[in-house]
Amino acid sequence: MNCTETREIIHSYLNDELEEQLLAGVVSHLAGCSGCRRELGNLHTSLDWLRKTYPEQAPPGDLWEKIQGAIETR
């Protein structure tokens, strides 16, 4: 597998969505290619950034009561 082919499926690799044969190809390419490893690292960094920027937040505590109220009055 070459760099172009690897980068086409690197997202699927990151998503853990590659079939066994392709996965083996990517893994062995990454082992020998610092450029693609860097690309993968960048991808990790930006996803990490995304998750920190939009962290999970607790819903308001009175949601259930409000929904019950709305259902009853409709």
> Residue 13, SS3?
helix
Q: How far is the CB of 35 from another protein (least distance, A)?
A: 15
Q: What sections of 1-74 are H helices per DSSP?
A: 3-14, 20-32, 34-53, 63-73
Q: What is the DSSP letter of 15?
A: T
Q: Smaller CB distance to Zn ion: residue 4 or 57?
A: 4
Could you say which of 10, 26, 36, 40 contacts Zn ion (CB under 5 A)? Answer: 36
Q: Smaller CB distance to another protein: residue 7 or 33?
A: 7
Is residue 38 at the binding interface for another protein, with CB under 8 A as the rule?
no
